[in-house]
């Protein structure tokens, strides 16, 4: 067990599977008390049971991150359980590959809500709780698709680019009060979200990356740990690619 997040209380949205769960495991192993926020109650309970079995302190809070009511309750429940909130990892997100002309209005709204509005809502309710303690730390999951365009990813590219810029904007607004805001830009990571990607497409994506492999959820979790810990106390407003070098040649 490490101590890099000793005494900290962290909320991780989308924390019951994939990158979110790997991050919850690492945060708990580094001494944090972790609130796993996710929609699926069965998966949430299973995640928390596994975290507790490893000796960690964790709780599950059911949460739809596109609902202000849910996110407000998430923060209230965290404060009631642990008395403070130091770290918010806005990780929940979803994707559907489509060009603009293939997205109806409801699909566009749904993708923007789960990928962008969720970040606004998390920060809207978490930052006041952090300010009570003199500061805190927000880590948002953006994506390399927020830095470069990719075919048939209209809503996802737009939402992730907005997350990166919102990250910078909030870093400016809340830095003076001790809240740091950073984001991670994952490249191709093997997770439940990418499980449906055809093998040939996965292989060609990997072949184009300098490090020639897919990322693991743990790769993102380590970046989240760095950005969430005091080791990065002079780092705010950054977008950190964790992408095997995918972006070096654009």
Note the residues at the interface with another protein (CB under 8 A).
168-169, 171-172, 175-176, 180, 187, 209-213, 215-216, 219, 222-223, 225-226, 231-238, 240-245, 247-249
Q: Which helix (H) or strand (E) is 29 found in, with range?
A: helix 18-29
- Nearest approach, Cβ of residue 196 and another protein (Å): 21
Report the residue number, 54 or 169, with the smaller CB distance to another protein.
169
Q: How far is CA 195 from each of CA 57, 107, 188, 198, 199, rounded to the nearest angstrom?
A: 30, 21, 11, 8, 9
**Alpha carbon distance 71, 118 (integer Å):** 9
Report the residue number, 99 or 165, with the smaller CB distance to another protein.
165
226 part of the active site: no
Report the residue number, 62 or 237, with the smaller CB distance to another protein.
237
- Nearest approach, Cβ of residue 202 and another protein (Å): 15
**Alpha carbon distance 119, 65 (integer Å):** 8
How many residues are there in the chain?
Answer: 250
Q: Which helix (H) or strand (E) is 86 found in, with range?
A: none
Which of the residues 60, 82, 156, 188 is marked catalytic?
A: 156
- Nearest approach, Cβ of residue 132 and another protein (Å): 19
223 alpha carbon, distance to own chain's centre: 11
**Active site residues per annotation:** 156
């Amino acid at each position: 067990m490490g101590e890099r997040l000793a005494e900290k209380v962290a909320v991780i949205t989308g924390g019951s599977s994939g990158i979110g769960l790997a991050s919850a495991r690492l945060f708990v192993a580094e001494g944090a008390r972790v609130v796993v926020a996710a929609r699926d109650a069965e998966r949430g309970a299973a995640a928390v049971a596994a975290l507790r079995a490893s000796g960690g302190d964790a709780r599950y809070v059911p949460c739809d991150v596109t609902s202000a009511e849910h996110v407000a309750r998430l923060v209230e429940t965290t404060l009631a359980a642990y008395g403070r909130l130091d770290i918010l990892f806005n990780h929940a997100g979803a994707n559907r590959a489509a060009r603009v002309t293939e997205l109806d209005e409801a699909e566009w709204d749904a993708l923007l809500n789960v990928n962008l509005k969720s970040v606004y809502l998390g920060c809207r309710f978490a930052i006041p709780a952090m300010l009570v303690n003199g500061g805190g730390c927000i880590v948002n999951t953006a994506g390399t698709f927020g830095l470069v365009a990719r075919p048939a990813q209209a809503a996802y590219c737009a939402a992730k680019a907005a997350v990166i810029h919102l990250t910078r904007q909030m870093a400016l607004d809340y830095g003076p009060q001790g809240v740091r805001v950073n984001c991670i830009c994952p490249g191709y990571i093997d997770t439940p979200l990418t499980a449906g990607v055809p093998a040939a497409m996965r292989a060609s994506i990997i072949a184009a990356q300098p490090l020639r492999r897919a990322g693991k959820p743990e790769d993102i979790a380590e970046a989240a740990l760095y950005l969430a810990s005091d080791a990065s106390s002079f780092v705010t407003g950054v977008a950190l690619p964790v992408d095997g070098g995918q972006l070096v040649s654009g």
